[in-house]
Amino acid sequence: MKLRSWNTILKVFKHIGKKLKMDTKDFTTPLYVIAVDDEPFNLELLKALSLKIYPDILTFDDPKEALVHIKKHPVDIMLVDYMMPYMNGIVLMKEAHLINSNILTIMITAAGDNEEIKLLALNEGAIDFLKKPLNAAEYRARMKNVSKLKRSQLILDDFNHQLEKEVARATQALIQREKEALKVLSNTAEYKDPETASHVSRVAHYSRLLAKAYGLDRHEQEVVFNASPLHDIGKVGISDAILLKPGKLDEDEMKEMKEHAHIGMKILETSENPFLKAGAIIAHTHHEKYDGSGYPRGLKAEEIHIYGRITALADVFDALTSVRPYKKAWSFEEAMDYLQEQRGKHFDPYLCNLFIKNIDEIRIIHKQFKSL
């Protein structure tokens, strides 16, 4: 690509960077340049020719020392002689590019060097050639072009890096907004049941604790944490008379109450959001029981999604230890006895064991979110 085209593209990137308030580099970026030649005279000549364009050029008469430097320090441009003892310029270039593939290399060849050497150098990444004896005007002109190309590369790399950070920042902000929306959605049932706000918070934290103890990865732990509060979203479709009834529900009332599992699934199932999709699973399965006696489908054991099994345990435990219109709060000891009694019946026995094993953390969560 011609340098004029590069400059046009870079101007566009700089403009975009300013719009995004990105601190991108420009054409004043300093370059790190080294020259490698086994002849001290040639290195002194390169220093003299580079005085105005690369006043800080570093020179090496030993290719191995040059490689050590490249391993430890940034290098943007490398001038390398072809004919050197122990390691010719092509081998050096190959080794250097293994360390830093972004180095722009200019091969210096003698007038008698053949085209095969140039082809080998090009295959190893050389971008230009200079012939001995060096012509001062040609050297400066070529190196100025190489410098523009390298600075263009640095600007593009910096722009991409900055853009990645901006995308990551925007993605994080989007995720945060999604979580805020989930919290609002999960608290919708609060208008039907004044206990729901603290209940959903405790269920979320109990569920994440269980998910971690069960061995789910961090991503799934977060999915469970953010989706489990949606377990009773279907209650928005249940009448207040049933939800807030202080006594036991009759058969017809219980039938209507059970519909909240299906309603919750229907509310959430069409979303592509992973939290809402998980919420649909939880809403539909958190009243299933391990022995198959639950609702709405009578699923058994592993037929019940792990998200549903986790939330079922967290939900029931919190319901037992909380005040409800129809009951007083149970003590932790009473609730734990109930979990033991329902191992393999209502609840996944393995999850029950994990819950009991982590009872100290459960107490902390219960205390922390006792009243919101």
**pLDDT digit string (tens) for 357-366?**
999 999 999 8
Average pLDDT value for residue range 260-283 = 87
Q: Examine the pLDDT at 13 and tell me if it is beyond 60.
A: no
**pLDDT digit string (tens) for 43-78?**
999 999 988 888 899 999 999 999 999 999 999 999
Average pLDDT value for residue range 125-138 = 86
Q: Domain coordinates of the chain in residue numbers?
A: 3-161, 182-368
Which is it for strands 104-110 and 126-132: parallel, antiparallel or unpaired? parallel
**pLDDT digit string (tens) for 74-90?**
999 999 998 888 889 99
- How far is the CA of 37 from the CAs of 60, 102, 226, in angstroms? 6, 21, 63
On average, the pLDDT of the chain sits at: 83
pLDDT band at 3 (very low <50, low <70, confident <90, very high): very low
- Chain centroid, CA 208 distance in Å: 20
Q: E strands along the chain, which residues?
A: 33-36, 58-60, 77-81, 104-110, 126-132
- How far is the CA of 281 from the CAs of 4, 5, 113, 179, 370, in angstroms? 57, 54, 72, 18, 27
CB 2 within 8 A of CB 8: no
Q: Examine the pLDDT at 10 and tell me if it is beyond 60.
A: no
CB 27 within 8 A of CB 13: no
Average pLDDT value for residue range 267-293 = 89
pLDDT of residue 185: 66
pLDDT of residue 163: 65
Higher pLDDT, 158 or 221: 221
Average pLDDT value for residue range 129-136 = 86
Please state which architecture CATH assigns to domain 3-161.
3-Layer(aba) Sandwich (3.40)
What is the percentage of the chain residues whose pLDDT exceeds 90? Answer: 40
Q: Examine the pLDDT at 2 and tell me if it is beyond 50.
A: no
Amino acid at 188: T
pLDDT of residue 291: 95
pLDDT band at 1 (very low <50, low <70, confident <90, very high): very low
pLDDT of residue 235: 83
Q: Examine the pLDDT at 173 and tell me if it is beyond 80.
A: no
pLDDT band at 290 (very low <50, low <70, confident <90, very high): very high
Q: Examine the pLDDT at 191 and tell me if it is beyond 60.
A: no
Say which range, 50-64, 126-140, 213-227, has the weakest mean pLDDT.
126-140
Q: Examine the pLDDT at 297 and tell me if it is beyond 90.
A: yes
Q: Examine the pLDDT at 233 and tell me if it is beyond 80.
A: yes
Say which range, 12-16, 48-52, 185-189, 255-259, has the weakest mean pLDDT.
12-16
Fold of 182-368: Hypothetical protein af1432 (1.10.3210)
**pTM over 0.85, yes/no:** no
